Amino acid sequence: MKEVKELFADANEKECSVLGEGYLYKFLTDDVLYRGFCVMTDRRLYFKGKYFQKVGRKFRPDKGEYTIDLKDVTSSGFTTARFGIVFFLEILFVIVMTVLTALFLRFVEVVDHFYFGDETIIESCLVLMALGLIAVPFYYYLKPFKAFVIEYAGGGIAFLVPDYFEEDARMFQKALHRAKDLGALAKDSGALAKDSGALAKDSQAAAKDSQVPVEGIAASGVCRESVGPDGLSLAQSAE
């Protein structure tokens, strides 16, 4: 069985939270990756498997490995997404089911003493197809996919979130922002310690300057007064 730490860039990183824990466990035990998972440490986010890459306002399916530093994460949240391929597949499904229904009725011809002639079969299938083609757009727009998005400097990455998976995604989001808060707090503490050290160094330098002997100052001639001829005569008279 593999260990989670094998995914990390640094073995000293600490695991904080996992999104898609079942897929991660399957990958570690059987080396099988069905969909995708995300592991968060105290320093980075690690994605592996299937996910969606945000390109502009759209999401493009992708597969592979991705690593993001926590400090580069700008935001996270939930959004809805629609995929044109899904709409196409739904239309295709309606057409295929209509054709299969027509073939079935043509094959049995009689159901409960009700005879299906060619005209009846065509009319029934046309009504069925019309209802299906009307229902597909409504379902497509009223039932979009829900996605959990993590945005970072330069783009975003997303996971589809079924209803049973939403609570796990929300817990992961809370853990993500707690980790970012701790990282920011540690950074501020380090900056404060650095500033305090610089202030202490400046205080020591000021104290050292205040202890310069007077003799040294006089010898350097910085504060020496100049004596003119009148001053010299006055001094001799006083003697």
Q: pLDDT tens digits, residue range 94-106?
A: 888 888 887 777 7
Alpha-carbon gap, residue 207 to 149, rounded angstroms: 55
pLDDT bracket for residue 145 (50, 70, 90): confident
Q: What does the radius of gyration of the chain's CA atoms come to, in whole angstroms?
A: 38
Q: Which pLDDT score, from 0 to 100, does residue 221 have?
A: 37
Where are the extended beta strands (E) located within 70-207? 73-81, 110-111, 114-115, 145-152, 155-160
156-184: average pLDDT:
82
pTM metric for this prediction = 0.62
On whether the CB atoms of residues 82 and 141 are closer than 8 A, the answer is yes
Residue 205 has pLDDT above 60, yes or no: no
Residue 162 has pLDDT above 50, yes or no: yes
Q: Which residues contact 208 (CB under 8 A, 6 or more apart)?
A: none
Q: Which pLDDT score, from 0 to 100, does residue 115 have?
A: 61
Coil, helix or strand at residue 16 = strand
* Rounded percentage of the chain residues whose pLDDT exceeds 90: 1
Q: Which pLDDT score, from 0 to 100, does residue 181 have?
A: 84
